[in-house]
Amino acid sequence: MSEFFTVQTPKDAHRLFSEHFHPRVRTERIPTADALDRILAEALTSPQDLPEFARSTVDGYAVNAVDTYGASGGLPAFLTVIGEVPMGATSSLELGSGEAVLIHTGGALPAGATAVVMVEETQRIDDAAIEVLKPVAEGENVIQIGEDIRRGDLLMTAGRPLRPQDIGGLLALGITEVSVAQPPRVAVVSSGDEVVPPDQPTTPGQIRDINSYSLAALIRRAGGEPILYGIVPDRREALLAAMQKAHHEADIVVLSAGSSVSYRDLSVDIIEELGAPGVLVHGLSVKPGKPTILAVCDGVPVFGLPGNPVSAMVIFDLVVTPAIRACLGASAPAHTRIQARLARNVASATGREDYVQVRIEARDGESWAVPVFGKSNLIYTLVNADGVIQIPLDSGGIREGAWVTVTLH
């Protein structure tokens, strides 16, 4: 199948890739307290009501609401205080008519009480009596049993990224362990005779390897575990050996080779050897990033990214990030998307999807997306951008002032 280069639209490429990529989510059980930003791998239902007992939301007196009806400052309701609710336990007290019990915020409502009067709306007469200055309705200042969550309620579905409040919500129910997706291992193989490690001095003609590290960071951001294979010499045997090792050890393989035609041909050739069906797409109708390779080899997705770092990062988010999210079973994208208005006309060529870097500026409470100029293969174009917008295929461009979706970096 090698040596062809039929440019495909991202949509067609995605469809073809999806037909051959069948991600399996690997799971592990971990303490809920350690599960921040992990992807939940199971649907969870509540084992109990929350709260399990009716609780006061204020400091005051637990009462039978009917005893306060008609009460006012001029004509207060007079109630006998028969005790106090201890924190962390239930009271053995049971309210009779005309009786009240001192209760604190979070305290369990005693038997016979139907509401709580705030302490500010009472007046203490003596140790055993209060005046209530305002009526309360039944249930006022009380959280009822199961008002937060009922036993059996669906709490969260699989695929959810866990946030601080989600961890709190699970621990509140005693769910101290959860099944989450294991981060897929993503191999990064760099190649190119002009590429040297970043800690080495360069001689004219050489550039530093930035793709290994910026791609590793993108892999972490997406929820994967990067494995770097270093810079492999641009010879068939060396590159094939490195790619076979990566294909054997990782769940996803990313090859960042040189950008020239000969490198691309070599990449296609080597990927074909890793397994069937092999290369599915060679060439995407996007800018930047046309020389992209999508492959599935014996069930493992293999991506050949363009060599220039800006194209590599744009294409990574377009094709590799979704594959990582699929391995995690994640229901939400890895990046936040916001709406903004485009700050100037952006033209686009026919037959191509354009990805334009933008800076976000606030103007009169509205967010504006300001295109960041500079050739697309300059890394500082990306450094100076807050996000990226997509100019759809065959749209001809987008007009100034139009609302666009910005995927934040």
Complex with its own copies: residue 51 or 275, whichever CB lies closer:
51
Return d(Cα 235, Cα 242) in angstroms, integer.
Answer: 11
* Binding of its own copies by 235 (CB under 8 A): no
Return d(Cα 358, Cα 346) in angstroms, integer.
Answer: 11
Complex with its own copies: residue 23 or 192, whichever CB lies closer:
192
Which residues, listed in sequence order, are joined to residue 387 by a DSSP beta bridge?
358, 408
Task: Report 272-301 residues binding its own copies (CB under 8 A).
Answer: none
* C-alpha count within 13 angstroms, C-beta hemisphere, residue 186: 31
Among 223, 258, 301, 329, binds its own copies (CB under 8 A): 258
* Binding of its own copies by 82 (CB under 8 A): no
How is 273-323 classified by DSSP, letter by letter? TT-SEEEEEE-BSEES--S-EEEEETTEEEEEE-SSHHHHHHHIIIIIHHH
Task: Report 96-125 residues binding its own copies (CB under 8 A).
Answer: 104-108, 119
Complex with its own copies: residue 78 or 380, whichever CB lies closer:
380
Which residue shows structure tokens 């969260």?
156
9 alpha-carbon distance from chain centroid: 27
Complex with its own copies: residue 160 or 247, whichever CB lies closer:
160
Nearest distance, CB of residue 144 and its own copies, angstroms: 10
* Binding of its own copies by 373 (CB under 8 A): no
Nearest distance, CB of residue 315 and its own copies, angstroms: 13
Give yes or no for a cis peptide into 306 (omega within 30° of 0).
no
Task: Report 2-61 residues binding its own copies (CB under 8 A).
Answer: 32-33, 36, 50-53, 57, 59
Nearest distance, CB of residue 50 and its own copies, angstroms: 8
Return d(Cα 180, Cα 178) in angstroms, integer.
Answer: 6
In this structure, the number of other CB atoms found within 10 A of the CB of residue 219 comes to 26
Complex with its own copies: residue 106 or 277, whichever CB lies closer:
106
Binders of its own copies: how many residues, by CB under 8 A? 94
Nearest distance, CB of residue 297 and its own copies, angstroms: 26
* Binding of its own copies by 165 (CB under 8 A): yes
Task: Report 297-336 residues binding its own copies (CB under 8 A).
Answer: 307-309, 313, 336
Complex with its own copies: residue 149 or 330, whichever CB lies closer:
149
CA-closest candidate to residue 285, choices 3, 1, 11: 11
β pairing state of 286-287 and 353-363: parallel
Complex with its own copies: residue 249 or 366, whichever CB lies closer:
366
Return d(Cα 195, Cα 190) in angstroms, integer.
Answer: 9
* Binding of its own copies by 140 (CB under 8 A): no
Nearest distance, CB of residue 354 and its own copies, angstroms: 17
Task: Report 169-188 residues binding its own copies (CB under 8 A).
Answer: 169, 171-174, 176
Return d(Cα 35, Cα 31) in angstroms, integer.
Answer: 7
- The DSSP H or E segment spanning 377 is none
Nearest distance, CB of residue 260 and its own copies, angstroms: 4
Complex with its own copies: residue 131 or 213, whichever CB lies closer:
213
Complex with its own copies: residue 72 or 336, whichever CB lies closer:
336
Complex with its own copies: residue 118 or 327, whichever CB lies closer:
118
The set of residues, in sequence order, having a beta carbon less than 8 Å from that of 189 and lying 6+ positions away, is 229, 232, 239, 242, 243, 246, 253, 254, 255, 256
The set of residues, in sequence order, having a beta carbon less than 8 Å from that of 241 and lying 6+ positions away, is none
CA-closest candidate to residue 97, choices 123, 75, 66: 66
* Binding of its own copies by 143 (CB under 8 A): yes
Task: Report 202-221 residues binding its own copies (CB under 8 A).
Answer: 202-211, 213-218, 220-221
Nearest distance, CB of residue 104 and its own copies, angstroms: 4
